[in-house]
Amino acid sequence: MRVGDFQSCTFNLENNLKLYLEDNGQLFALSFLHRSESQVNLVVGAEPLSLADTLYGLKFCQPDADLTIDNLGKIQPVFGFRRVQDQLYLR
């Protein structure tokens, strides 16, 4: 998924949703963004980012940059997401 795709798909969702990586049935909080020229990493950490904070950070990124997840050094692309109550599970 690219940054612009994520921004478009989440445009009308509530800003207070918390972001998590869903990996093999386990949830990991996505805590901060790390930008480079061609990709943006959502990094696993202790406290989850809100959708509002994430979208604010993505405003400064190229829309065609790849959106990826960094789980303890293992980089994987974001393929999609699903909403569960007040959380957004990325995979």
Question: Whose structure tokens read 């989440």?
Answer: 10
By DSSP bridging, strand 87-90 and strand 26-35 are unpaired
Task: Print the domain residue range for 85.
Answer: 3-90
Tokens of 24: 């093999």
Query: Tens digits of per-residue pLDDT, 20-39?
Result: 999 999 999 999 999 988 99
Could you give the CA distance from residue 66 to residue 68 in angstroms, rounded to a whole number?
Answer: 6
Tokens of 76: 């994987």
Query: Tens digits of per-residue pLDDT, 41-84?
Result: 999 999 999 999 999 999 999 999 999 999 999 999 999 999 99
**pTM for this model (two decimals):** 0.92
Structural domain count, the chain? 1
